[in-house]
Structure 1
Amino acid sequence: MSSNFVDSQGSTLVVALAELEGHLSEVLKEVRRLRALARALEEENQRLRTIMFAAQAGEGGYQQLLRFYEEGFHVCPPHFARVRDGDGCLFCQSFLEKKGLQSHG
């Protein structure tokens, strides 16, 4: 084998390894971001569970949904347990009205 061929392959390998290290660094950065997001979502999920399943004397399931809605969370199936952005949600209101819990105008 000629030394030019070995040098050419060697430098190509070095470039490929450098590119691979760059990609690996990006993947690790994304994994760290996703882990942080997962932790935040798990914490919010636990907080929402605490709110939803808080035992309150004489409060039935629909009253819990109404309270949950009034605390600023969606109770409609498409957006359940997501934080509402301050305004009412027509889906939630319709759902609660069907259940005879509340009438919003």
Structure 2
Amino acid sequence: MSGNFAITNEGTLAVALAELEAHLGEVMKEVRRLRALARSLEEENQRLRTIMIAEQAGEGGYQSLLRFYEEGFHVCPPHFARVRDGEGCLFCLSFLEKKKGMPSHG
């Protein structure tokens, strides 16, 4: 009987190890996804910093918004600073058109 018990334990251990390996694979997949997301967010953060530095260097508000839009970000109030999907945004373009006609305060 003790021989059967050992085989059962070895079989259970093998199943447990297989489940652990599968779980570890899923965890590693999630780690890779999070690293890619972090890298993307760091790049976006750097672009935003560049824009902010240019604005502080005396660039006018309209020019900053226009450059921000051209960099691929929304400038319209509902979606401000979110990454655009590469297509134009009518809200942003309308907002920029309104800002273009306003007097500068800086």
The separation in 2 between residues aligned to 1:102 and 1:56, in whole angstroms, is 19
What is the RMSD computed on CA atoms of the aligned residues? 2.8
Tell which deviates more after alignment, 48-57 or 26-35.
48-57
Tell which deviates more after alignment, 54-63 or 34-43.
54-63
State TM-score, norm by structure 1.
0.68
Contact between 1:74 and 1:84, CA under 8 Å: does it hold in 2?
no
- How far off is 1:65 after superposition? 1.2
Contact between 1:74 and 1:83, CA under 8 Å: does it hold in 2?
yes
Residue segments in structure 2 that go unaligned for 5+ positions in a row: 102-106
- How far off is 1:92 after superposition? 0.9
- How far off is 1:72 after superposition? 4.2
The separation in 2 between residues aligned to 1:65 and 1:94, in whole angstroms, is 12
State TM-score, norm by structure 2.
0.68
SS at match of 2:20: helix
- Tell me what 2:104 maps to: none
Alignment of 1:58-73 (within 5 A): 58-73=58-73
Alignment of 1:58-97 (within 5 A): 58-76=58-76, 77-78=78-79, 80-83=81-84, 85=86, 87-97=87-97
Residue segments in structure 1 that go unaligned for 5+ positions in a row: none
- How far off is 1:42 after superposition? 0.5
Alignment of 1:8-87 (within 5 A): 8-55=8-55, 58-76=58-76, 77-78=78-79, 80-83=81-84, 85=86, 87=87
How many residue pairs match? The answer is: 100
- Counterpart residue identity of residue 46, structure 1: Q
Q: Percent identity?
A: 71
Contact between 1:52 and 1:68, CA under 8 Å: does it hold in 2?
no
- Tell me what 2:100 maps to: 102
Contact between 1:66 and 1:96, CA under 8 Å: does it hold in 2?
yes
Q: Which has the higher helix share?
A: 2
Contact between 1:48 and 1:81, CA under 8 Å: does it hold in 2?
no
Contact between 2:62 and 2:99, CA under 8 Å: does it hold in 1?
yes
